């Protein structure tokens, strides 16, 4: 087991969405035994940290992010013995398990909430966020106009208590009251339970929402429904860092584990308070570079310049204090080629492959720990289903309904869902071209992507030019480069509208054409790059000392990624 200090800075992290990774018993859902079966694949990618989205007991309203018991494993995924076996088998391959902590809310079937909802006077009555109704012209009204992440009001009436409870996400996911010290201690106890099990770290879900403003006042409406996003009203409320410093002291301080928190809404200027020596976490998933769209039918303009600006700002913010989790895909986002490139690129197999390789070159050469999302290493793509009934996740259905309410046609609403749905990243892992892509012997819980016969691990395993082997070679290249593991990041050609270019350490220069058009470099731009050897190109592969070429050409091809020295 890798136990060197800050081992997580040098490793490769990999995220698994357990329902869709590998089924071992034919019920159509991925499970823990299936993950064990595929550990050798992860080892071939030099994975050292394996993040599992929640596998705890759950009614699965939000695919496990509605936890009913953090001390039990969801029978859909297996048993606690299976979990112990996974931790042990992963350790044999120098892989440490990273658990997902969902500490903003629980399931409404959690015993804590079942007790809390009984009355306004019981041992857990103050474990969740309860508010009285407001008397309006039409009778009982909700406490404010906040709209939840999944649409509709954040408030749900509880007849037993004759009060509303708050849910930032689904109705079945009531928010915990972090102001109550008993709640905080219970959550710290859960994290320490898993540390004692031998896990190597935690990804912490939706953490910017745990602190609520004391006045709970209504906000300025942002849509025709007269409501305002709960994100706008609650994200990173003053005082949240006090809670998180307490979490650090009680859970992770002095232990060989790392933390990476989901923190959309934390800007580069605030990173110093969240990560680094005095920060509350080791790393922070921020989303400025991902074109994070809250209302899918109202996407903001986003281009190469926005993407570059966000990445460079983040790299600079942690240059001297903190560490960065480099990522372009996860279980909540579309596949990266669809997210960052036009449909013309994403839907053409050849340009899709070039773009996937370009994004991989960026992923493994930024300063930070690279996070791969399952299927990214083989270039899995978005789906394009023509019916909302094919989609499983709750937000896709809510966004479709919202788009219709905003006056869009069903076809337009489906276009938004196709583009942004979380189900794009949740289709089953494509292992081979056999029935159900080798994922299950049963009926998959969600439809497969129809291109699995062309894009799959088995097909790419022995193809030298495959996306999978490109990933493996880049990972090996990174592991052998002190510049990439430890070197500083320095942006160059920063004002260029098509190129992402930077230096790492003393010897590595990276140039990536993020556009669909060739780039002709001026003499000044060539001079700024300097006279370099081409080590890596996603058009031409990896060079060696015999075939190494000088970077003397003035044209960089569309979607070309170059690593130079």
Nearest to 256 by CA among 102, 33, 82, 98: 98
236 Cα distance to chain centroid:
19
DSSP track, 452-515: GGTS-HHHHHT-TTSHHHHHHHHHHHHHT-HHHHH--EEEESTT-SSEEEEEETTTEEEEEE-S
- What CA–CA distance (Å, rounded) separates 103 from 194? 14
- What CA–CA distance (Å, rounded) separates 15 from 330? 7
Nearest to 263 by CA among 327, 321, 309: 327
Active site residue 205: yes
Q: Is 265 within 8 Å of 276 (Cβ atoms)?
A: no
DSSP track, 109-149: TSHHHHHHTT-SSSTTTTSB-EEPPEEETTEEE-SS-EEPT
- Of 82, 100, 262, 525, which is the active-site residue? 262
- What CA–CA distance (Å, rounded) separates 290 from 269? 18
Q: What is the 3-state secondary structure (H, E, C) of 267-322?
A: CHHHHHHHECCCCCECEEECCCCCCCCCCCCCCCCCCHHHHHHHHHHHHHHCCCCC
Q: Is 227 within 8 Å of 221 (Cβ atoms)?
A: yes
Q: Helix, strand, coil: what percent of the chain each, to 5?
A: 35, 20, 50
Residues present in the chain in total? 565
448: three-class secondary structure by DSSP: coil
- What CA–CA distance (Å, rounded) separates 105 from 178? 10
**Packing angle of the helix pair 410-420, 394-405 (nearest 10 deg):** 140
Q: Is 64 within 8 Å of 74 (Cβ atoms)?
A: yes
- What CA–CA distance (Å, rounded) separates 371 from 329? 8
Nearest to 103 by CA among 195, 186, 193: 186
- What CA–CA distance (Å, rounded) separates 323 from 276? 7
Q: Is 337 within 8 Å of 352 (Cβ atoms)?
A: yes
Q: CA neighbours within 13 Å on the CB side: how many for 295?
A: 24
- What CA–CA distance (Å, rounded) separates 96 from 433? 30
Q: Give the pair of three-digit tokens for residue 276.
A: 């680094």
Nearest to 493 by CA among 304, 258, 257: 304
- Of 175, 205, 286, 525, which is the active-site residue? 205
Nearest to 419 by CA among 348, 327, 343, 352: 343
Beta bridge pairs of residue 564? 509, 534
Residues assigned a catalytic role: 205, 262
């Amino acid at each position: 087991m890798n136990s060197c200090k800050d081992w997580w800075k040098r490793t490769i992290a990999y995220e698994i969405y357990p329902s869709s990774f590998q089924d071992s018993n034919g019920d159509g859902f991925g499970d823990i035994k299936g993950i064990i079966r595929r550990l050798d694949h992860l080892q071939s990618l030099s994975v050292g940290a394996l993040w599992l989205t929640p596998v705890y007991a759950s009614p699965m309203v939000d695919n496990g992010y509605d936890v009913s018991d953090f001390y039990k494993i969801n029978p859909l995924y297996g048993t606690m013995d299976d979990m112990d076996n996974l931790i042990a088998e992963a350790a044999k391959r120098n892989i440490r398990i990273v658990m997902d902590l969902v500490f903003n809310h629980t399931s409404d079937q959690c015993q804590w909430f079942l007790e809390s909802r009984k009355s306004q006077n019981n041992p857990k009555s103050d474990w969740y966020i309860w508010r009285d109704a407001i008397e309006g012209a039409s009778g009982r009204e909700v406490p404010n106009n906040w709209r939840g992440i999944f649409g509709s009001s954040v408030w749900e009436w509880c007849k037993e208590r004759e009060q509303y409870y708050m849910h930032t996400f689904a109705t079945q996911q009531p928010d915990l009251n972090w102001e109550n010290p008993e709640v905080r201690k219970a959550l710290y106890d859960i994290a320490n339970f898993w540390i004692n099990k031998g896990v190597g770290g935690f990804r912490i879900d939706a953490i910017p929402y745990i602190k609520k403003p004391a006045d709970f006042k209504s906000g300025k409406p942002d849509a025709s429904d007269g409501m305002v996003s709960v994100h706008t009203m609650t994200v990173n409320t003053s005082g949240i860092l006090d809670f998180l410093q307490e979490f650090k002291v009680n859970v992770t301080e002095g232990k060989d584990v790392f933390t990476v928190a989901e923190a959309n809404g934390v800007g580069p200027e605030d990173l110093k308070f969240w990560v680094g020596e005095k920060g509350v976490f080791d790393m922070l998933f921020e989303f400025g570079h991902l074109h994070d769209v809250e209302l899918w039918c109202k996407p903001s303009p986003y281009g190469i310049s926005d993407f570059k600006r966000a990445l460079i700002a983040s790299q600079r913010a942690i240059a001297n204090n903190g560490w960065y989790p480099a990522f372009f895909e996860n279980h909540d986002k579309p596949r990266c080629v669809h997210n960052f490139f036009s449909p013309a690129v994403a839907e053409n197999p050849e340009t899709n492959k070039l773009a996937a390789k370009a994004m991989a070159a960026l992923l493994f050469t930024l300063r930070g720990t690279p996070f791969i999302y399952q299927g990214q290493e083989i270039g899995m793509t978005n789906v394009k289903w023509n019916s909302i009934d094919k989609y499983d996740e709750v937000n896709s259905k809510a966004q479709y309904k919202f788009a219709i309410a905003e006056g869009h046609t069903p076809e337009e609403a489906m276009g938004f869902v196709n583009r942004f749905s979380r189900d794009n990243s949740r289709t089953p892992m494509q292992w081979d071209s056999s029935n159900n892509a080798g994922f299950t012997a049963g009926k998959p819980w969600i439809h497969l992507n129809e291109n699995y016969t062309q894009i799959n691990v088995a097909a790419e395993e022995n193809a030298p030019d495959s996306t999978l082997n490109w990933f493996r070679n880049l990972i090996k290249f990174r592991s052998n480069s002190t510049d990439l593991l430890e070197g500083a990041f320095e942006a160059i050609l920063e004002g260029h509208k098509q190129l992402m270019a930077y230096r790492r350490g003393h010897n590595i220069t990276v140039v990536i054409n993020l556009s669909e058009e060739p780039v002709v470099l001026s003499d000044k731009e060539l001079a700024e790059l300097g006279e370099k050897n081409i080590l890596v190109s996603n058009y031409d592969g990896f060079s060696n000392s015999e075939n190494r070429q000088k970077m003397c050409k003035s044209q960089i091809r569309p979607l070309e990624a170059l690593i130079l020295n």
